[in-house]
């Protein structure tokens, strides 16, 4: 069975950094498209970033230049390094597998909460 488990969330001050990880099982992260999606408290879903199987990466304008998506093939994990964090980055961050070429999310993790506050 496919499983995605996020970790690394927590409280961070504005301007700080945080690294989230997503441990995958039941499939290989390296041969799939993988993405991060976030949801601010009481708000809707917002796409954050994607990494394609070939290694290309893309970002939402709201995080471009501040977030970096990557994967560790040896650990079968997806990561996102978040820097220059702002209060409006506060959200539950979900890791999701993308069905390549059709561009929809067929499996989601349980999410990890990132709170940016003083």
Partner 1 sequence: SYELTQSPSVSVSPGQTASITCSGDKLGDKYVCWYQQKLGQSPILVIYQDFKRPSGIPERFSGSNSGNTATLTISGTQAMDEADYYCQTWDSHTFVFGSGTRVTVV
Q: Taking CB under 8 A as the rule, does residue 42 contact partner 1?
A: no
Write each residue from 83 to 102 as x if it is in contact with partner 1 (CB under 8 A), else as -, in one continuous string. Answer: -----------x----x--x
Q: Taking CB under 8 A as the rule, does residue 9 contact partner 1?
A: no
With H, G, I as helix, E, B as strand and everything else as coil, classify residue 87. Answer: helix
Q: Taking CB under 8 A as the rule, does residue 27 contact partner 1?
A: no
Query: Binder to partner 1 among 8, 27, 108, 115 (CB under 8 A)?
Result: 108
The position carrying tokens 């408290």 is: 41
- What span, in angstroms and rounded, lies between the C-alpha atoms of 71 and 55? 9
Extract the tokens encoding 104.
């929809």
């Amino acid at each position: 069975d496919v499983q995605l488990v996020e970790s690394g969330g927590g409280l961070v001050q504005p301007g700080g950094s945080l690294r989230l990880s997503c441990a995958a099982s039941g499939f290989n992260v390296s041969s799939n498209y993988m993405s991060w999606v976030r949801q601010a408290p009481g708000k809707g879903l917002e796409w954050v970033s994607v990494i394609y199987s070939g290694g290309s990466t893309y970002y939402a304008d709201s995080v471009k230049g501040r977030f970096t998506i990557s994967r560790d093939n040896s650990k079968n994990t997806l990561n996102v390094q978040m820097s220059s964090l702002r209060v409006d980055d506060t959200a539950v961050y979900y890791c999701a597998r993308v069905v390549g070429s059709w561009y929809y999310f067929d499996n989601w993790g349980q999410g990890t909460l990132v709170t940016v506050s003083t």
